[in-house]
Structure 1
Amino acid sequence: MDDSAEPRRSWRDGVRDGAPFGAATFVLAASFGVVATDAGMPTLAVVVMSVLVYSGSGQFAALGIVGAGGGVGAAVGAATLVSSRFLPMGLALGPSLRGGRLRRAVEGQATVDASWAMAARGDGGYDREYLFGHSAIQYVLWVLGTGVGVAVPELDVRALGLDAVFPAFFLALLVAEVRDRLRLAVALAGAALALALVPVAPPGLPVLVAAAAALAGLRAPR
């Protein structure tokens, strides 16, 4: 059957299908809340960050740099680089959104990795309402999970394994992206560059340099 003939999925369908992703999001957010509080971030700042940023990869990247003693600029730069994948994702999604540029930009803020992938149709378009529902349940559970993490600061993150969620999350992102030899080579080169800079560069700078080098490597002609 032609994919374009498939019925549009609803907001409710998105909420239902997004619930399992939301459960995983809740655990990750609780880990972020606990680790951020343990690193010394004010409780309110942690929750507000999750409410406004809503990006696990970006928030963990910023937290890692700040926790290592890096400055706000380095943290923002790292979060921006890590989240740069949303630019091409947004360009692909744009035609499926409604209204003018401003409205489409606002609607595009609902995009996260899972909802973007799940809302895709075979004809190159996206189910707009489905994406909103899929993202909505994840957003609610992300904020709630962060709240739980900061509300119980006495949790032993190591005993519960929550400290392992942070590196495991980034490892999962890396495994998903390394699909060919070029990407693997670029990832290894970036890791080697970061490790070489750690002893001599200020906290946060190795991550920024390695990320920039990785982007340049992926854009280089084959």
Structure 2
Amino acid sequence: MRSLLRTPASILTPLARDASLVWVASGVVGVSFGAVCVAGGLPVWVPVAMSLLVYAGSAQFSAVGVLLAGGGPLAAAATGLLLNTRTAAFSLAVADVIGTGRLARLVGAHLVTDETVAFALAQSDPARRRAAFWISGLGLFAVWNVGVLCGALAGTALGDTATYGLDAAFPAVLVALVLPVLRTDSAVRRCALLGAVLAVVATPLVPAGVPVLLALAGLAAATGVRR
């Protein structure tokens, strides 16, 4: 994190501008998550505490979905953990980006998300990747938690969150992040295609969250890809 403070403004400003789109989407989906939780009967503190301590958007939605469907806390936690195991691979991908200090690794591990990793690895050199990780990660964490709090306080006032398209904001941003790489790298296209086929085929056969994990098998198509 200290290296971020020493990074020139000429690098930080463009990165913050580029990350702002993801921050906006994160805030919108955070509002949706908070509203869904409270509208489903959970107290305000549950989504707020979960977002601060767990901080895993898709896993949080899955866990709350299990709770609202009548499942127990253990089943909800297991579902969230299963879906979030993909971040183990993401952590390996950005291990050298986060830094070497204990505090940096502790905080950085908490900030590892699909969007933060994608944004960091899209940069052209190590210094920009490190700055991009911390700018994206800290901004996302702040905006997500503010959004969740606002949504939870709004409660049922928003009604059906799908009516406003809040549930589609994050997937749309993820597509925007990966499209440039898919256009320029045939090896990544092979991995993505195989992973997508596996996920689509598995969706009607396995519990929610498992298709995402199965899609990681698409990395088998990366044979020969440069590191």
TM over 0.5: yes
For 2:195, which of 180, 183, 193 is the aligned residue? 183
Higher RCO (CA < 8 A, seq sep 6+):
1
Q: Which moved more, 1:9-18 or 1:133-142?
A: 9-18
The equivalent of 1:59 in structure 2 is 60
- Determine helix, strand or coil for the equivalent of 1:46: helix
**CA 171–41 in structure 1, closer or farther in 2 if over 3 Å, else same:** farther
Aligned residue pairs total 203
Distance 2:59 2:102 in 1: 25
Distance 1:60 1:35 in 2: 9
The equivalent of 2:37 in structure 1 is 36
Distance 1:77 1:88 in 2: 19
- Determine helix, strand or coil for the equivalent of 1:153: helix
**CA 125–90 in structure 1, closer or farther in 2 if over 3 Å, else same:** farther
Instruction: Point out where structure 2 has 5 or more consecutive residues left out of the alignment.
Output: 1-6, 183-188
The equivalent of 1:157 in structure 2 is 159
The equivalent of 1:135 in structure 2 is 137
Given residue 38 of structure 2, which amino acid in structure 1 is its aligned partner?
Answer: T
Given residue 188 of structure 1, which amino acid in structure 2 is its aligned partner?
Answer: V
- What are the Cα deviations for residues 12-58 of structure 1, in whole angstroms up to 9, with x where unaligned? 55444322211111110000011011111111111111111222111
**CA 130–55 in structure 1, closer or farther in 2 if over 3 Å, else same:** same
- Determine helix, strand or coil for the equivalent of 1:193: coil
Given residue 68 of structure 1, which amino acid in structure 2 is its aligned partner?
Answer: A
Given residue 198 of structure 2, which amino acid in structure 1 is its aligned partner?
Answer: V
Distance 1:131 1:101 in 2: 17
The structure in which a higher percent of residues are helix is: 2
**CA 74–112 in structure 1, closer or farther in 2 if over 3 Å, else same:** same
Distance 1:89 1:144 in 2: 25
Query: Alignment identity in percent?
Result: 27
Cα offset, 1:186, TM superposition: 1.6
Cα offset, 1:208, TM superposition: 6.3
Instruction: Point out where structure 1 has 5 or more consecutive residues left out of the alignment.
Output: 1-6, 195-205
- Determine helix, strand or coil for the equivalent of 2:42: coil
Distance 1:23 1:167 in 2: 13
Give yes or no for the alignment of 1:69 onto 2:70: yes
Distance 2:89 2:134 in 1: 18
**CA 119–168 in structure 1, closer or farther in 2 if over 3 Å, else same:** closer
Instruction: Let me know the Cα RMSD of the aligned residues.
Output: 3.5
- Taking structure 2 as the reference length, the TM-score comes to 0.71
